[in-house]
């Protein structure tokens, strides 16, 4: 939860955010926590917070949270893979584009 708070606070600083999440992905390689499960954590997170919003919950809000977790999943997976390749630096190619990081609208 505090990591998500940190993430949301850095939505306007994408380079800082990316470094933070890549490092989290590297740690998860060391925790032996496979990348294929990351998005499930996001979907569970969304299911958990939804009831607290009551009638303020909107499709737009749900899409923004999903976009955030797609970005987290994608970036953590890159960190995971870099660590898997024996601590290599993170590579990115022109074809590899991150999912768009949408801003969370105010409620």
- Min. distance of Cβ 55 from ligand HEM in angstroms? 27
Looking at beta carbons only, is 20 or 56 nearer to ligand HEM?
20
CB neighbour list of residue 78: distance below 8 Å, 6 or more residues apart: 22, 25, 90, 92
CB 83 to ligand HEM: min, Å: 13
- Rg of the chain in Å (alpha carbons): 14
- Using CB under 6 A, list all residues that contact ligand HEM: 3, 24, 27-28, 31, 33, 37-38, 41-42, 69, 72
């Amino acid at each position: 939860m505090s990591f998500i708070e940190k993430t949301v606070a850095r939505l306007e600083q994408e380079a800082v955010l990316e470094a933070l999440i890549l490092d989290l992905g590297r740690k998860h390689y060391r925790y032996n926590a496979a990348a294929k499960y990351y998005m499930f954590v996001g979907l569970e997170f969304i299911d958990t917070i939804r009831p607290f919003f009551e009638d303020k919950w909107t499709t737009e809000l749900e899409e923004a949270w999903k976009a955030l977790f797609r970005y987290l999943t994608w970036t953590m997976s890159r960190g995971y893979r870099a660590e898997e390749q024996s601590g290599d630096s993170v590579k990115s190619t022109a074809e590899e584009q991150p999912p768009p990081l949408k801003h969370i609208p105010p409620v």
